Amino acid sequence: MSTDRLPAFAALSFLLIVVPGPSVLFVIGRALAHGRRAALTTVVGNTLGAYVLVVAVALGIGTIVERSVLAFTVLKLAGAAYLVHLGVKAWRQRGSLRTAFADSGPAVHGGPLRTLGEGFAVGVANPKTIVFFAAVLPQFADPGQGHVPAQMLLLGLVFNVIALVSDSVWGLIASAARNWFARSPRRLAAVGGVGGLTMIGLGVTVAATGRKD
């Protein structure tokens, strides 16, 4: 694929990944409630679930979007609208993060396999990730290079490597600073507010960009 598209996609992916969405909140909640091992196992499950979405988008949508400007435009605008919606929602609910962390659940039962499975379920059902892959992967694949589904699989791999590192850092920080996060509602609200504004900005960016054809 075009060498200029991969760094641009990686940068956009990083901006989206660092925003605390459902998967990140789940990882942080597990770290606060159960510690580092549970958090990192959850991250691995999240990543595997997210890559299932990559495969589904690449194999099910790649060919259609490659041939149809209309399909591309519909997906792009739908994705942009939903990203903005998520951003507004995150901004409005930024004060509720403390409750989300406090309600992260009782101790994990069933061992690492269950923790992995629960992380996988959150990753595969993450609406932010679904919308991002469906709306943005086709935008960065280059039809002129051929093998569009394979390009999407590569882009998805880049996304998931970044997510694995970023989510692991979130988990490690949260597990090492449980009391620091939990005792300050202002800190939690700031995390949610910045995340919401960033999501809105990403939605506007997706809506404003397109492909040459």
pLDDT, tens digit (0-9, with 9 covering 90-100), for 50-105: 898 888 888 876 556 556 677 677 767 776 776 687 678 767 766 655 555 555 44
Region 136-140: what's the mean pLDDT?
A: 80
Give 132's DSSP letter.
Answer: H
In this prediction, residue 115 has a pLDDT band, given cuts at 50, 70 and 90, of: confident
- Residue closest to 131 by CA, chosen among 30, 61, 33: 61
Q: Pull the structure tokens for residue 187.
A: 């800190």
Q: Pull the structure tokens for residue 58.
A: 């690449």
pLDDT at 178: 65
pLDDT at 164: 93
Q: Does the pLDDT of residue 175 top 70, yes or no?
A: yes
CB-CB neighbours of 125 under 10 Å: 13
In this prediction, residue 170 has a pLDDT band, given cuts at 50, 70 and 90, of: confident
- Residue closest to 148 by CA, chosen among 135, 138, 157: 138
Distance CA 116, CA 98 (A): 24
pLDDT, tens digit (0-9, with 9 covering 90-100), for 182-202: 566 676 666 666 667 766 776
pLDDT at 1: 64
pLDDT, tens digit (0-9, with 9 covering 90-100), for 18-56: 777 667 777 776 776 667 888 899 899 989 988 988 888
H or E element in which residue 150 lies: helix 148-176
Question: Is the whole-model pTM more than 0.75?
Answer: no
In this prediction, residue 108 has a pLDDT band, given cuts at 50, 70 and 90, of: very low
Distance CA 160, CA 191 (A): 22
